[in-house]
Amino acid sequence: MKTAIGMDVHAKFCSAYAVYAGMGETRERHEKFLDSFNKEFWKFPADGDGMKKMAAFLSKHECHVLIENSTKSHEIYWMLKGLGMNVTVAQAVDLYRITRSVKKTDRNDSIELAAYMRRRLNGENEFAACFIPSPEWMTKREMCRGVYNERIYLKEARQRIRAHLLLHGISLSKEYDDILSVKAVREMQEHKDPYLLMQIKFALDAKSRVRFVEKAIAQMFSGNRMYELILSIPGVGIVPAAYLTSLIVDIGRFGKVTQFTASFGVVPGKRDSADHSPDCPTTHRGDEVARVMLKRCAFSHIQNVEDSVVTEMYRRLVKRGKVKNEALTAASRKLLTVIWSVLKNNAPYTVDPELLKRARETEDAEED
């Protein structure tokens, strides 16, 4: 029996619902099987044992499982794939019947997911399926995210230190560009302020972790052609190049540049008329961390490369009166087209080595 299954996944429990997805009317024995499945798996553990139990129950049937993309979906996807099941992960933004529902319960969500899957099997295309990387690629991706989060913490720690100095009237001998420089830290430690000492310790620990993981990432991606091609673009540092590589994995899965840029969510959305408008907000599909990194890389690129399509677009939009943040978003999309070009042509971005070094230092520099 061809079956569509919707699975609402949470940290500890899942809720699954199955519907008939074959041709014609369901037979009585099929209805009995579906009823028994839906009673048995309306709530079950989101672990290996729970997945094995469900796979065994469905072993004699052709089953297609649909999961909404979440922090747990990667783990569940590979569990079920390892058990020989057909699994699809949907972009949550496309599942309007769920995201806009006023009756959001685990059971209702799993029922809606099953209906989405059945319609897809019957030829309707209502949602985009997520690309699920291998566990190895996911580990690399998580390392890059870890550095990204540590950098945010480090920036906030610097801000807390400066705020404390200001609020408590603690003066240093000069205005340090880097409040965590050796001389600045030594001078602050002489004040023996408990809160200040604590924040310095936290910040230096975070700085050490960032350096350690950045070095590990550089070693891990060394020799990867895609990584090296992306890294050749001015403004793109080690961590963004590695993160983008771990998101793309295979450039061949994108048929054209518009599909590539759309996967990062930096293209304009559509109005109800389906017409593109320059005033429409971006779709915000894909990875949020990647979008932030792309904007930072685009900013660094613009600062360091005068003769560039990215820089030219940014300046043209600002001159026309665009808000700088919106112009930077457009520039980050243009930067993606540059990335697409170097990957498709398998040729690095040609630029003066000193300019490339300066741009990379600008992007990798920690904000104070």
Q: For residue range 48-93, what is the model confidence (pLDDT) as tens digits?
A: 999 999 999 999 999 999 999 988 999 999 999 999 999 999 988 8
Residue 76's CB is within 10 A of a number of other CB atoms, namely: 21
Does the pLDDT of residue 368 top 90, yes or no? no
Reply yes or no on whether the pLDDT at 276 is more than 60.
no
pTM (two decimals):
0.83
Contact 105, 64 (CB under 8 A): no
Please tell me the least confidently modeled range out of 71-80, 149-158, 221-230, 344-353: 344-353
Question: To the nearest whole number, what is the mean pLDDT of the chain?
Answer: 89
Average pLDDT, integer, range 180-201 = 96
Per DSSP, the three-state class of 263 is coil
Farthest CA pair distance, the chain: 85
Going along the chain from its start, the domains and CATH numbers come out as 2-121 (3.30.420), 135-221 (no CATH), 225-364 (no CATH)
Torsion of CA 334, 336, 340, 346, to 10 degrees: 100
Coil, strand or helix at 86 = strand
CA dihedral 211, 212, 214, 217 (to 10 degrees): 170
| Confidence class for position 281, pLDDT limits 50, 70, 90 | low
Tokens at residue 31, please? 């209805």
Helix, strand or coil for residue 68?
strand
Separation in Å, CA 100 to CA 73, 97, 109, 152, 350: 21, 6, 11, 32, 48
